[in-house]
Amino acid sequence: MQAVSPVPSRYMNISATDYPARRLHIPRSLQAIGALICVLGTLAAGYRTTRTPVTLVVNGERQYLHTQQDSIAALLLDAGITLGDKDIVTPALDTPIEPGGQPVTVYVKRARPVRISTDGQSILMYTHATAPEAILTEAKVSLGPFDAMSVEGDLRALGPASIDPDQAPHIIVRRAVPLTVHDAGHTIEHFTTSATVGDALTELGLTIFLADYVEPALNTPVSAGMEISIDRSVPVQVAVDGRLLRTRTHRQVVGDVLGDLGIVLTGQDYTTPTLESPIGEDELVYVIRVTERFLIEQDPIAFESIWQSDPDLEIDNQRLLQEGAPGILQRRIRVRYENGDEVARAVENEYVAVPPTTKIMGYGTKIIIRTLDTPSGPVEYWRVLRMHATSYSAGTSGTSPSSPWYGRTATGLQMRFGIVAVDPRYINLHSEVYVPGYGVGYAGDTGGSIKGRRIDLGYDDSNLALWYRWVDVYLLTPVPSNVNYFLTQ
d(CA 378, CA 370): 10
Return the percentage of the chain with pLDDT > 90, whole number: 53
Q: What is the pLDDT of residue 10?
A: 38
d(CA 306, CA 323): 11
Q: What is the pLDDT of residue 184?
A: 77
Q: Is the pLDDT of residue 142 over 90?
A: no
Domains of the chain from N-terminus onward: 52-109 (3.10.20), 112-174 (no CATH), 177-231 (3.10.20), 234-288 (3.10.20), 293-363 (2.20.230.10), 369-476 (2.40.40.10)
**Mean pLDDT across 91-112:** 84
Q: What is the pLDDT of residue 280?
A: 85
**Mean pLDDT across 390-395:** 95
Question: Which of 47-61, 124-138, 264-278 shows the lowest per-residue confidence on average (mean pLDDT)?
Answer: 47-61
Q: Where is mean pLDDT largest: 168-172, 256-260, 356-360?
A: 356-360
> Which among 76, 79, 78 is positioned nearest to 89, based on CA atoms?
76
Return the percentage of the chain with pLDDT > 70, whole number: 88
Over residues 227-250, the pLDDT tens digits come to: 999 988 889 999 999 999 999 998
Q: What is the pLDDT of residue 31?
A: 60
How sure is the predictor about 341, in pLDDT bands with cuts at 50, 70 and 90?
very high
Print burial letters for 295-316: b (CB count within 10 Å at least 16), e (below 16): eeeeeeeeeeeeeeebeebebe
pTM over 0.75? The answer is: no
Q: Are 486 and 363 in contact (CB under 8 A)?
A: yes
Question: Which of 41-50, 159-168, 432-441 shows the lowest per-residue confidence on average (mean pLDDT)?
Answer: 41-50
